[in-house]
Amino acid sequence: MTTPAEFTAALRAREQLLGYWCLLDAPVATERIARLGYDYVALDAQHGLFGYSGMLNNLLAIDSQGSTAVGLVRVEANDPAPIGRALDAGATGVIVPLIDTAAQAAEAVAAVRYPPLGRRSYGPMRSALRIGPDPADAHDATVVLAMIETAEGLADVEAICATPGLDGVYVGPSDLRIALGGASSTDPALADTFEAALGTVREAAAAAEIAAGIHNPDGASAAKRLAEGFTFATVACDLVHLEQTARQHLSAARPSGTSGGAL
């Protein structure tokens, strides 16, 4: 099982890492996913379908025997309260949404680090067992990732990446494509503009020697982004993949154009 310190060291060294994204409050399913070989499993507390107890129970599932992954949490906002709760619950790191400026990135870092490096409140309920009770343990084994998903964030990405203490940036492709003028989260008309934006993020992260990650709909897309120079990539997500697999089985079992019978 990968330890938080091992994962953090690998991410900071810009080694290639692969993760999975969970929206559902389904700890048994999350436990199975965490055993598959992913380096991390990210829980979405911004758009996901669970509250604090769900986040805690799914982090416990990720850390169960046989897991290959550590748990990350995409928090609901760049605010010390949800960031602290996720870390106290045992998350190895947080993904902080809607970072527009270097000043906001510095606020996220401060919320993750204890004084004198930051302003995280001390109350490591579960992280004391998972990571360690001392601030130095948390600093060594906890990561903070800033999401680049707005036009403002893209414009300031070099300064964001240079923020002291920031471990990496993470592209939210749906929001970024819309922010750049897309009519939808997958608008093909924005393809060239979007790809250029990804190059800008990758180059800024490489120059600052921090990790660069991106969200992906499937494994093939994740492999493509890693080959392009992103250092970590997430495959998303349990809710969508459940629906896709169920539809595939239905199509295989029932010929096109036929209807189901009454139960």
Contact predicate 127/138, CB 8 Å:
yes
From 47, 139, 215, 249, active-site residue: 47
**Residue 47 falls in the annotated catalytic set:** yes
Which residue has 């190059």 as its token pair?
199
Alpha-carbon span 206 to 68, nearest angstrom: 27
Q: Report which residue type is found at 168.
A: G
Q: Report which residue type is found at 20.
A: Y
- Count Cβ atoms below 10 Å from residue 3 Cβ, excluding itself: 13
- How close are the terminal C-alpha atoms of the chain, in Å? 45
Q: Sort strands 93-96 and 211-216 into parallel, antiparallel or unpaired.
A: unpaired
- Three-state DSSP class for residue 84: helix
Alpha-carbon span 44 to 236, nearest angstrom: 11
φ, ψ at 95 (rounded to 5°): -105, 120
Both structure tokens of 157: 């990405």
DSSP 212-226: EEEEESSHHHHHHHH
Catalytically active residues, by annotation: 47
